[in-house]
Structure 1
Amino acid sequence: MGGLVVVGVDGSESALVAVEEAAREARWRGASLRLVHAFIWARMKVPLGPPSYGPPEGGLRNMADRLAAEAVRRAAAAAPEVEVASVVVPGEPRTVLEAESQGAELVVVGSRGTGGFVGLLVGSTAVHLAAHGRCPVLVVREASRAAGPVLVGVDGSPASEAAVDFAFAEAALRGSGVLALHAWTSWRSSPSPAPRDPSMPGANSPGAAEPEEFLLAAALAGRRERYPGVPVEHRPVRGDTRKLLIEASAWARVLVVGARGRGGFTGLLLGSVSQAMLHHAHCPVAVVRAGGTGT
């Protein structure tokens, strides 16, 4: 086996869909799968065993074991060949899963768990991990489509570079293409980077003199050579980044974004675009931090 994919388990339907997605990710990567249930009750000094007046299978600890067992069944059904381990770890979900991310190549979570407030589109655990995870984090709102490209948002930032690398690797694993989308407005345009080599996408096209096309071409340079079997479409578009990415996500298998882009405020770990994608994208969203592609 290769690396490790970690998935958070809490008994919610969102988490079980994430388990199935994580099992497929582990299969594609030749990795093992670790199902993690954060058992907060152990830290709250409450009785964990079955009550004296109830059935022997009752109690919080038995409930946690049943949640983990159901997650194992869902993972086995989605990818029977994957090696699966299940653990119940004392602690709060955000803290436990952030620690688990240090040894993983990918962490997968559902968009909302059992502790979420009604009306929220994405839960605090997913947002926290997207900002603080030590590896790429895949937030699953619904199962990925069987067809369509891996969509990646490009803005030329270091996190965007890492997102592009992850997107190409993910497309190669899934046997799909990459749609690289760079959106800009008239008040926020990019300096014109010099092309890295004359064969890169867009370098010799009629519109290659445009700064935004140069930025997108530079961001994709070298990936075609590393992933020759991955079809690539590069799309520079004038307009609002969040709106255009959300619209394009309607036919994507997965959307990949950097944790923070060029327009973010210093000190913020998660930018407005990545936050918006977590809440509104129509497919699973992978958030990648600069310096840690996990591939």
Structure 2
Amino acid sequence: MTDRSDAGPILIAYDGSDCSKDAIAEAGRQLRDDRSAIVLTVWEPLDAVPFWGVPMATMPSEMTEQVVTRAREVAAEGVALIGEAGFEAEPRVELGAPVWSRIVETADEVGASVIVLGSHGRSSVGYAVMGSVATAVAHHAKVPVLITRESRA
């Protein structure tokens, strides 16, 4: 295997879902080397989520604090999982919308060598309504992107 210890870190987008857990497991299998990892959890604030025909609401500060705390817990969970796969990792929490954009921007900021994320595998209707973070990241990232599908065990 090529020594990639001088390459940038692996950026793992992690939201606590089964597909993001599968992505961490795949990163452990496919990307074993001396690179460090950053586990990124992005949360989209309530006032950034469009509800057509409904005035935008702002999340109360107490709720924002709870969401940030939960996002930190999720990122820490991801760090523990990738640690089990043999990587040293640090958590990172970002606020932003759309989520795919924050993932790509963070990859640029940290000089990531690869982005790893899971795909929820929504139906075509779900994709049309919600879009695909994985597809958008793959289209906009400047580095390779490893996308895994949720295991159907």
1:178 CA drift (Å): 0.8
Matched-pair identity in %: 27
8 Å CA contact 1:149–1:177 kept in 2: the answer is yes
Higher relative contact order (CA 8 A, sep 6+): 2
**Letter of the structure 2 residue corresponding to residue 234 of structure 1:** P
Instruction: Structure 1: give runs of 5+ residues left out of the alignment.
Output: 1-26, 29-143, 189-206
**Letter of the structure 1 residue corresponding to residue 150 of structure 2:** A
- TM-score using structure 1 length: 0.37
8 Å CA contact 2:36–2:88 kept in 1: the answer is yes
| Match of residue 201 from structure 1 | none
| Match of residue 253 from structure 1 | 113
Between the aligned partners of 1:154 and 1:222, the Cα distance in structure 2 is 10
Aligned residue pairs: how many? 125
Equivalent position to 2:79, from 193, 207, 220 = 220
Partner SS, residue 237 of structure 1: strand
Deviations 1:134-164 (A, max 9, x none): xxxxxxxxxx995101111111221111112
1:219 CA drift (Å): 3.2
8 Å CA contact 2:5–2:33 kept in 1: the answer is no
1:248 CA drift (Å): 2.4
Instruction: Structure 2: give runs of 5+ residues left out of the alignment.
Output: 48-65
Between the aligned partners of 2:28 and 2:38, the Cα distance in structure 1 is 10
RMSD: 3.0
Q: Does residue 161 of the first structure (1) align with residue 17 of the second (2)?
A: no
| Match of residue 62 from structure 2 | none
1:290 CA drift (Å): 1.2
1:211 CA drift (Å): 1.2
| Match of residue 184 from structure 1 | 43
Between the aligned partners of 1:223 and 1:153, the Cα distance in structure 2 is 12
Between the aligned partners of 1:210 and 1:231, the Cα distance in structure 2 is 22
Deviations 1:155-177 (A, max 9, x none): 12211111122223444x23201
8 Å CA contact 2:39–2:90 kept in 1: the answer is yes
